[in-house]
Chain A
């Protein structure tokens, strides 16, 4: 019998060890998830550790009311911990939308898991108290408990999260938990009552967790949609960016690396403001260049002028332009503009392409992402605008999306001042785009043969721009910045302004 008893004790201690490991993993998962989703990691971790330890105390207290069927209860708790802890991250990911309930459920889950883990240790000591000497019992149980905790806290950041992700980790440990319960059902079938029911419970729980584990990627992408607050209808990762298209009622939104690119409800305001002032004041509009703008929306506006003979689009990301040539929803937005016979698309680096280009254009429309890093900052430098100038016919017009003059006035006027150093006539204007806020543009003319208020031609069917440029180039005091430096490759001052201004929002 002695050998069996050793086996019995060893099994239960191993169970303690796993419970401790798994329990701590669930706690870490909850803390990490809360920090990811809610921010303020110090607060989140602190609250979660507190609640978890407290609830373990609560569990320990209630353990004294369990007097019958100790071993069965122990196994059942093991199953429950696995199921609840394992599914906790899935539940939390899915519920993130509902802000208040999220926190409530987060702490409830932590509390329940804590209670169950808290129940286990005293319960186990009760089971073993007649079989092992008290001194050994306490020391063994707590040794395994703390080793388990150490293992969990080391494995979690180094191996588990990088390899499995948050959701995978909690599900994986749920399965381990339940596997222990299954193992106990098998090894202790003589000591346990109603083994078959217990085993069935354990196996069903295991299957639930396993299914969730297999589908965790789908859950993740579904919950990503929840994070955007809209339904994701399309996601695509190119070597340069992650493209996400969402749909909510009658609004489609395109995100590039989680930054809103356009909303279908108001993008006409942005693109009409970007394109039509330049197109109307230019002396000629037969040859047009678009830098950036792989969504084809600016091209759609340009094509409204019958005089246009040729449009060249240079966008780095082939994945992006391809998408806007082929995806049905997106082609509806740009009216199939990128497939128009007048349009040629080059998937090239704009700076390198511009340097090598020998052609000259009547209008150049520059629609790059905001200068949020040093790479993008180069596309707003003095040298770049000098390069662009080489592509301009006399009196050609250049327009540049210049971020928000309200949120980032220094950045806005920095770009303006940089262009001023290169081109003879310069102005700035802005328009309100609800999904972006107040948005601004820099416009410049390579000569004196036309001026900003000149309207040489109009397109029909515009919804926003009314060809009265003088209504857009007035800036209130809160959109003005003074003492601004020129953005050069060797100072990249714009990236610093931009970081300072958008960083504080």
Chain B
């Protein structure tokens, strides 16, 4: 009785159509593209305020603040630095942030039905070597204890619920992100060979005992061989290893775009392999690739970190100049609310801001920051009344279409304990992979929201043909400088090294772009390390 369910109402509809027209017309009607209207909103990082940095048309400071320590930037690095100050017993610091909220790329928004991420949305299980991170996760009750074998006991509610991933491949959903069902034997052999190589890389160490690939990056080996890897693109590396299978290239390309914003044609092979080999998968006995996630994404982690800078934060404050003056570090700050400027005089300043910003704030940095590339990102959160597909594998947390231009979507209510959801909320991810990120960025800001709506809908249509009819609203969020993108040669470059150097032991630099890989762990460690350095100096 499969057609019995919606028989009633559809027949009434049919009569309506039949009443006014002949038989053939409804058929044509069904073929014609329906004009579907729904709410589209466009948002993004505050690039208008940010772009004022180029003109620097700010009022003269009318107020002065003296503080021992100043943190510029309220992303994960800045928040982590604040935490580390508190851990070290230091409380006389101030944090300034350009946006009206903290968290940077780990921010979120919410609608009537669910919270949803505006950037990073998960944390893979930490490496057991990463004691600092484990400690943080214990403090926040994400790790509830350790079992007799020493494995952390993660909170069940914060691990991704099953089923965690599915892939739309050859017109069917299958479990996992790796294309497995429907390959030729040769393709499977290549996939297995690739994963075997990655496994070897994962455990590979140099003579001094450092891992070739490690998180944080700083603890990775500095072998010259690795620098060579960094000079190749991931695609060149795959070709050098005689890989030819198309599903493998598509899969690796997806992974690189997902983690770095750049596809295999542009991303360095070191970074590409880092994605597979830096996570040691040693913190869980059985399931190795689990991640921690929350409906609001990593905004949850940012939220945990925020408590260390409450009452010490200035939001909507744009730092427009940082310099050494009279043996002090001085920051000139524009308060966007009162439209006045402040002069903050500090003993030390931590620049927890990306280098593309720092080049406008601190003198003589343009030279090396021009080698820092940031891929733009787009996130689209859709409210849908229903999410039907061909039911070959149930809706998962991460849903990816093999070979699609986008990066798939996250089902934001996946971590909900509820049986039924009124509406479903999904967040679609897209990164603009190109050799010239600046050019893509300029083009992106010119496009109208209709353009983005079509891009998102057309990509989702591959796996959900009726997506347009069931969509009730789309919130498009554009991140002009989504994340640092490790193009070839960047990770081991002189520019990156120079950009990390502090100025006169007064101005310090910390940001995940100085690690070269934009992940929570890097930012978290950047924050801790810079504070340790500041205290020592």
In the bound complex, what is the Cα–Cα distance between A7 and B7 (angstroms)? 39
Q: Return the chain B residue nearest A494 by Cβ.
A: B162
User: B residues within 8 A CB of A164?
Assistant: 10-11, 14
* A interface residues, Cβ below 8 angstroms from B: 36, 155, 158-159, 161-166, 168, 176, 217, 220, 224, 227, 239-240, 316, 349-352, 355, 373-379, 381-384, 488-493, 495
Question: Are A490 and B290 also in contact (CB < 8 A) when A349-B419, A351-B418 are?
Answer: yes
Interface presence of B420 (CB below 8 A): yes
CB of A165 within 8 A of CB of B157, answer no
User: B residues within 8 A CB of A491?
Assistant: 162, 287
CB of A490 within 8 A of CB of B287, answer yes
CB of A374 within 8 A of CB of B156, answer no
CB of A168 within 8 A of CB of B11, answer yes
CB of B156 within 8 A of CB of A352, answer no
Q: Pull 26 A–B residue pairs with CB atoms less than 8 Å apart, ordered by A.
A: A158-B30, A159-B26, A159-B27, A162-B3, A165-B10, A168-B14, A176-B23, A220-B1, A220-B4, A224-B1, A240-B420, A349-B417, A351-B417, A351-B418, A351-B419, A374-B162, A378-B417, A381-B156, A382-B156, A489-B157, A489-B161, A490-B156, A490-B161, A490-B287, A490-B290, A491-B287
List 11 additional A-B contacts (Cβ < 8 Å) besides A377-B162, A382-B156, A491-B287. A36-B2, A155-B27, A158-B30, A163-B13, A165-B10, A316-B420, A349-B420, A350-B419, A352-B417, A383-B156, A384-B417
Distance to closest chain B CB from A34 (angstroms): 13
Question: Are A166 and B3 also in contact (CB < 8 A) when A158-B30, A489-B156, A492-B163 are?
Answer: yes
Distance to closest chain A CB from B283 (angstroms): 13
Chain B residue total in the interface (Cβ 8 A): 29
CB of B419 within 8 A of CB of A161, answer no
Q: Return the chain A residue nearest B414 by Cβ.
A: A374
User: A residues within 8 A CB of B11?
Assistant: 163-165, 168, 217
Interface presence of B191 (CB below 8 A): no
Interface presence of B8 (CB below 8 A): yes
User: B residues within 8 A CB of A384?
Assistant: 417
Question: Are A220 and B7 also in contact (CB < 8 A) when A240-B420, A491-B287 are?
Answer: yes
CB of B156 within 8 A of CB of A224, answer no
Question: Are A227 and B1 also in contact (CB < 8 A) when A165-B7, A490-B161 are?
Answer: yes
User: A residues within 8 A CB of B10?
Assistant: 162-165
User: B residues within 8 A CB of A36?
Assistant: 1-2
The residue from A166, A240, A352, A373 contacting B418, defined by CB atoms under 8 A apart: A352
In the bound complex, what is the Cα–Cα distance between A164 and B10 (angstroms)? 7
Q: Return the chain B residue nearest A382 by Cβ.
A: B156
* B interface residues, Cβ below 8 angstroms from A: 1-4, 7-8, 10-11, 13-14, 23, 26-27, 30, 156-157, 159-164, 287, 290, 394, 417-420
User: A residues within 8 A CB of B160?
Assistant: 490
Distance to closest chain B CB from A42 (angstroms): 17
CB of B30 within 8 A of CB of A492, answer no
User: A residues within 8 A CB of B156?
Assistant: 381-383, 488-490
In the bound complex, what is the Cα–Cα distance between A379 and B418 (angstroms)? 9
User: A residues within 8 A CB of B163?
Assistant: 374, 492
Q: Return the chain B residue nearest A163 by Cβ.
A: B14
User: B residues within 8 A CB of A240?
Assistant: 419-420
Closest 6 CB pairs of A and B: A492-B162, A490-B159, A351-B417, A383-B156, A165-B3, A163-B14
In the bound complex, what is the Cα–Cα distance between A239 and B162 (angstroms)? 25
CB of B394 within 8 A of CB of A374, answer yes
Q: Return the chain B residue nearest A93 by Cβ.
A: B1
In the bound complex, what is the Cα–Cα distance between A383 and B14 (angstroms)? 48
In the bound complex, what is the Cα–Cα distance between A490 and B286 (angstroms)? 12
CB of B420 within 8 A of CB of A375, answer yes
CB of A378 within 8 A of CB of B161, answer yes
Q: Return the chain B residue nearest A383 by Cβ.
A: B156
CB of B14 within 8 A of CB of A492, answer no
In the bound complex, what is the Cα–Cα distance between A155 and B23 (angstroms)? 11
CB of B7 within 8 A of CB of A383, answer no
In the bound complex, what is the Cα–Cα distance between A217 and B3 (angstroms)? 11
In the bound complex, what is the Cα–Cα distance between A172 and B162 (angstroms)? 46
In the bound complex, what is the Cα–Cα distance between A492 and B160 (angstroms)? 11
User: B residues within 8 A CB of A227?
Assistant: 1
Distance to closest chain A CB from B412 (angstroms): 16
User: A residues within 8 A CB of B2?
Assistant: 36
Distance to closest chain B CB from A109 (angstroms): 19
User: A residues within 8 A CB of B8?
Assistant: 217
Q: Return the chain A residue nearest B415 by Cβ.
A: A489
CB of A224 within 8 A of CB of B419, answer no
The residue from A220, A376, A488 contacting B419, defined by CB atoms under 8 A apart: A376
In the bound complex, what is the Cα–Cα distance between A381 and B419 (angstroms)? 13
In the bound complex, what is the Cα–Cα distance between A495 and B162 (angstroms)? 10
In the bound complex, what is the Cα–Cα distance between A36 and B2 (angstroms)? 8
Distance to closest chain B CB from A28 (angstroms): 13
Q: Return the chain A residue nearest B6 by Cβ.
A: A162
In the bound complex, what is the Cα–Cα distance between A495 and B26 (angstroms)? 43
